[in-house]
Every structure is written in C-alpha cells, then in structure tokens.
Amino acid sequence: MDFCSSSKKAASSLALIVFLSYLLSSSSKLMCSASSEKNRSSIGGGGLFWSTEKEEGDFRKAEMDNSQKIEETTEEQISGGFSSLEGMLQWAIGHSDPAKLRETANDAQRLNELRKRQTEIKELMDKLKMPSDAELMKAAIADLNNSSSSLEDRLHALNTLLVLVEPIDNANDLDKLGGIVAVISELYNSEPEIRTTSAWVLGKASQNNPLVQKLVLDHGGLLKLMKMVKSSNLEEATKALYAVSALISNNFNGQELFYAQAGDLLLMDIMSNSSSDIRLLRKSVFLVADLAESQLQSKDELVLPFLGNRLFLKSVVDLTTSTDLDLEEKTLMAIRSLLQLSTTEALVFKDFCNLGEALEKMRQQFEKLLADEDLREYVRDIEVLRREVEFIFSQKLEKVVSRVPT
C-alpha cells in the first residue's frame, strides 16, 4: 500500500523503469494494484503501470479510453505467452502511445541500456524495499531522542509514528522501543505543532489499548494533556482532548486521576462556554457519554461522583439547544446514559436542568428539519434516540413519583 502510493507520485519515467524491471524479473512483488482479477497477476505490472499513469493526472483522455483495451489485450498475450524478453518489450512498446513512449524511452538504444542495467535495477528495488514497522519506529524514536534533531525532523518522526501506532502490535512495541517517554517529552516542546502531533500520537496509541493507557498514565502524560486542553491554540486543545479521552476510556485508574485533576471542571468550562469551538464541544460531550456508560457498566464501583452533580448535568442538558446535529446526537447519548445512573436524580433533570422542555424543543426542531431531504434520514435516527431518552426520563420520574406518598 505504501509502495503503491509512493509510486503514484513517481515520475512517469520511473513508472516505466518499474514496469520494465517488473517484466524482466517477472516476480509478483510489485503486485500492489490489488487487482481482484487474479488471472492477470502474472503480468499484473501492466496494471500497475497504467494505473500509475492514470493517477498522475497527466494522462491524456484518449489514452484513458484506450487503457481498458490495453488491459484486455494483456490477457490475450498472457495466454499466448511471450517467447522472449524482446517479445515482452516489443509488446510493451507496441501497446503504448508511440509518441509518449518515444518521449520517455527515446529509442531502442535506451531500452537496451535499460536491459543491461537489469541487475542495477534489481539492486535498486531491493534497496527500495520498505523497512519493517519496528525499524521505522526505531528510527523515528531515535530522531525524537536526539537533541540535535531539527524541528522538521521531529515533526516528520511524529507523523511517522502517527501512522505506525495504529496497529495494536506496533502500539505495544512503542514502549519497548522507548517511544512513549520520547513522545511524552515532546508534549513539552515549545512548538505548538510538535505538541499537537505528540498528543495525537499518544491518543491514537492509547485508543482501546489498556497497556499503552497504563504506560502513558504512569509516565504522567494525563496531567500535561489536560493542561493542553486549555490551550488557546484550537488544534492543540482539540488533539489534547482527543488524547485525554482515549487515555481514560474504560480505564478506572485514568478516570480517577482525571477526576482528581478536576477533569469535571475542565469539561464544564468547555460545555458551558458559549464561545467554545464545536469540535471541542463534541469531544467533551462524547467523553461525558463514554464516562457515564463506563460508570453504568461498572455498577458498584463509584469513580466519578461529578456525574451526579446538578451543575454538571445542566451544562450537558443545555447543549441540546445547539443547532449542530452531531453535537445534539452526542448530547442525547450522554443524557441517555446519565439518566440510567443510580447516582443521578430524576427531579434534578426535571426541575434544575429542564430536561422535559429541552426534549420538547428538540422534537420541534427535528420536525422542521424533516422537510430537508438531505437531512431527513439522519434526523429520523436522532429522533428515535430522542424518544428513547424521553422514555427513560419518564420512567425515572415515575419511580420517584410512586415513592412519594400522596
């Protein structure tokens, strides 16, 4: 995949060399055009060649129309088989746009040279072979750990890690290679872009990964990330909140630490500030929903008393007045879980948060939006969720009412 995307960027003359070397070596190493038609695989390099050209954007329209024909012919040629290398090259030339090929390959002499350089090309291909993920991570971590590394090197190293830590095995290896400490150190870099990307890497590596979560928590990453959430740099704040969320999701130790560091106030400050950025709002209420759900699953273990706090609940319910459907949906999910907690009180939702009115206003808003064809389907889904919340709310209220003697 990496090879494919890099080859797309290559100049078309390189594409030709790759194509020729593919023909010469007749190996299937380069079969990354992921053709589902396996029968073409023995000469699938042709597919690579042409798709490369198409992706370049400088492919002339006439050629585009021809490419299908060319590919079909390729199959015929396979069944016939090429008697010689010469035959393959002749075929390659014969089925290419002559003008373009002349431009690139100039003349037969050039092709002969290419053939002579077959070994060189093979060596080059071996050198081009991608290093393993672990090797790449090691190199990136070494760049971070090297005090002489330029800002550019650091950013490049972090962006490399960002891609590499996605698979869980790589994320686990990150610590073995000393990467977690290295990336946490970059949270203290004076350059916002470096801090932002570091937060992003830590968030990605921690996502659904209890091992990495624990390591980042043990190395003191959470407190620094929580401070970064308050940054006036929006990108930094957003990525930091993403990382905080990934770090404490389904992690009780992380949640306790979050609470001990006034995480509830951090979220409330965002949720009750009318100038808050929409992405921060969505991430905040998503985290609330996640925490409430996690609390709901844990039953006895009460880690987050603030989830029952009336001011906190009101700052969540007030988000229902937003006109951003995504935020409204996430808010409804948060309320749905919060309502089911034994630590929240129905009357607080009713009298202090005015949840009944809020839900009715949402109903009216959604009804109007149903007229919009583009939104209709999405709005219907959210309305189902809204009704569910309404139902859970009424049940919670009923329990209270039936307990009160009349």
CA gap 372, 4 in Å, rounded: 41
68 binds ligand NAG (CB under 6 A): no
Q: Binding residue for ligand NAG (CB under 6 A) from 37, 103, 113, 351?
A: 37
Q: Which is nearer to ligand NAG, 27 or 185 (by Cβ)?
A: 185
Choose the binding region for ligand NAG from 36-44, 165-173, 217-225, 331-339 (rule: CB under 6 A): 36-44
**Piece of the chain touching ligand NAG by CB under 6 A; list 60-68, 83-91, 201-209, 269-277:** 269-277
How far apart CA 225 and CA 227 sit, in angstroms, is 5
Residue 145 binds ligand NAG (CB under 6 A): yes
Position closest to ligand NAG via CB: 178
Q: Give the dihedral sign, CA 102/107/111/114.
A: negative
Q: What is the helix (H) or strand (E) element at residue 245, kind and residue range?
A: helix 234-248
- Residue 79 in contact with ligand NAG, rule: CB under 6 A: no
Cα dihedral: 148, 131, 6, 1 (round 10): -130
For residue 398, the minimal CB distance to ligand NAG (Å) is 38
Binding-site member from 269, 326, 345, 388 for ligand NAG (CB under 6 A): 269
Residue 39 interacts with ligand NAG (CB under 6 A): yes or no: yes
What's 130's DSSP letter?
P
The amino acid at residue 398 is E
Residue number, 149 or 172, with CB nearest to ligand NAG: 149
Alpha helices by DSSP H, listed for 318-404, are: 325-340, 346-347, 355-369, 376-403
Question: Using CB under 6 A, which residues numbered 275 to 334 contact ligand NAG?
Answer: 275-276
Binding mask 153-192 for ligand NAG (x = CB under 6 A): -------------------------x---x----------
DSSP type of residue 220: T
CB atoms within 10 A of CB 9: 10
Q: Note whether 78 binds ligand NAG by CB under 6 A.
A: no
| Closest to 254 in 3D by CA, of 267, 244, 240, 268 | 244
CA distance 148 to 135: 20
71 binds ligand NAG (CB under 6 A): no
In the numeric block, the tokens 């560091």 are attached to 261
| Residue 368 CA neighbour count, 13 Å, CB half | 7
How long a stretch of residues is the chain?
Answer: 406
Rounded distance between C-alpha atoms, residue 340 and residue 334, angstroms = 10
Contact status: 135 vs ligand NAG (CB under 6 A): no
Candidates 114, 141, 243, 291; binder of ligand NAG (CB under 6 A) is 141
Among 148, 190, 364, 402, binds ligand NAG (CB under 6 A): 148
Q: Is the Cβ of residue 178 or residue 308 nearer to ligand NAG in the bound state?
A: 178
Q: How far is the CB of 283 from ligand NAG (least distance, A)?
A: 14
Min. distance of Cβ 223 from ligand NAG in angstroms?
20
Q: Provide DSSP, 39-76.
A: GGGGGTHHHHHHHHHHHHS---HHHHHHHHHHHHHHHH
Give the shortest CB-6-to-ligand NAG separation in angstroms. 23
- Which amino acid would we find at residue 237? A
Q: Which stretch in 104-112, 145-153, 281-289, 324-332 sits in contact with ligand NAG by CB under 6 A? A: 145-153
Q: With respect to ligand NAG, which residue has the nearer C-beta, 216 or 346?
A: 216
If one counts every other C-beta atom within 10 angstroms of the C-beta of residue 50, the result is 24
Which residues in this chain contact ligand NAG in the complex, by CB under 6 A? 37-39, 141-142, 145-146, 148-149, 178, 182, 269, 273, 275-276
